[in-house]
A and B are shown apart, each in its own frame.
Chain A
């Protein structure tokens, strides 16, 4: 089986771009222009969103460029939705 990759977002300032792929566990990597100030908050947003949606099988790369909390959440949900559709193809 080919491991598919799903992307949501852009590299524009104030946005975030998220890459995810199916895995046998959850792992999250955060890369952010504001890592030292908000790295923990971004991670919490991502972890919470994954938990709320009972996602247990993705590797996530979050490349943040100063996005607001709800933007990160929306981009992650969009990527998860793409994955859901991709997985059922």
Chain B
């Protein structure tokens, strides 16, 4: 019977893919951009999908192992990706399956055992990213400290964390989460982090790139789910330890607490245990309170913007953030309603 590879189009073809993945105990990828299958007659014997630049759901039927069908599927995915301008691809796989993808030319960025290995194919963006960090840190002291911040927007709470680090450490890198999945766009969050820390002479604010708390490493950050959070935190921590910390000569990471967020608690716990194992000191700082005893949080700031109580924001944020909000209040709210 003839075997052929095709791009999946019909409901029936996608159904075949689901069946194949389920037989392999693999989850069915959602919102994919493209899927390929290899059929023998009406039976699907191999499949693979891509969502953005992440390959997912690559599987070969049990009775057709060792025939290089995965090479055919991945070839199709690589060639198709190029048509969409992608010269770098990523995937997450079980740690024990790394060898299969190694042989196809993937390299491991990091392993978060026992959950997943994070791998890259093609023109290596992760290598470029770590080279960029190496340039930034070239003339800075070693034993530096890093803080990863979304700062949505930058508050006195963030300021407090940075100040503590600045007072106690040789150098502080503030990694600004670059992904635009927040109330305030990255450009604004970045600008307010710069302005809010410009008087601290041993602080550098750096765009985080794709490898810090992005959907790539941490898709559940904005949708709480306990195990998913743990897995993503594990990957995030290992990427930090293997890719970022060595390039920036960072030996300490500061974490803030989030008193009302279970997600952040799980995240911090996982990151702390993994970084400690890799010789990176973790300092968890209690969140700063306002004078009347309430925790300062960016979410409280956002809530006050939504309800129009701008005067309540003033005691929670630095002047630069406050001015930005006053100036952009209408736009911020308008964009919000449009979404």
Contacts and interface: CB of A to CB of B under 8 A. Distances in A.
Interface in B116-137: 121-124
Contact of B82 (A6, A33, A63, A65): A6
B105 A5 contact: no
Given A12-B68, A29-B123, A29-B124, A20 B87 contact: yes
Contacts of B105: 11, 17, 31, 63, 65
Interface in A63-79: 63, 65
Contacts of A31: 105, 107
Given A3-B87, A7-B82, A12 B71 contact: yes
Contacts of B121: 63
Indicate the size class of the contact surface on chain B: 20 to 34
A45 B81 CA distance: 26
Interface string B47-79: 000000000000000000000100110110011
B78 A19 contact: yes
A37 to B, nearest CB: 16
Contacts of B30: none
Interface in A45-71: 59-61, 63, 65
A4 B85 CA distance: 4
Contacts of B79: 7
Given A5-B82, A19-B82, A33-B103, A11 B74 contact: yes
A13 interface: yes
A29 B81 CA distance: 19
Contacts of B86: 5
B104 interface: yes
Interface residues of A, number: 22
Contacts of A65: 105
Contacts of A10: 71-72, 75
Nearest to B71: A11
Contacts of B107: 31
A63 B196 CA distance: 46
Contacts of A43: none
Contacts of B78: 7, 11, 17, 19
A2 B71 CA distance: 28
A23 to B, nearest CB: 9
Interface of B: 68, 71-72, 74-75, 78-79, 81-82, 85-87, 103-105, 107, 121-124
25 contacts: A2-B85, A4-B82, A4-B85, A5-B86, A5-B87, A10-B72, A10-B75, A11-B72, A11-B74, A11-B104, A13-B68, A17-B75, A19-B82, A19-B87, A19-B122, A19-B123, A20-B87, A21-B87, A29-B123, A31-B105, A33-B103, A59-B87, A59-B123, A60-B123, A63-B121
- Going nearest first, the 5 A-B pairs with the smallest beta carbon separation are A63-B105, A5-B87, A11-B71, A7-B82, A5-B82
Given A17-B105, A19-B123, 19 more contacts: A5-B86, A11-B68, A11-B72, A11-B104, A11-B105, A12-B75, A17-B75, A17-B78, A19-B87, A20-B87, A20-B123, A21-B87, A29-B124, A31-B105, A31-B107, A61-B122, A61-B123, A63-B121, A65-B105
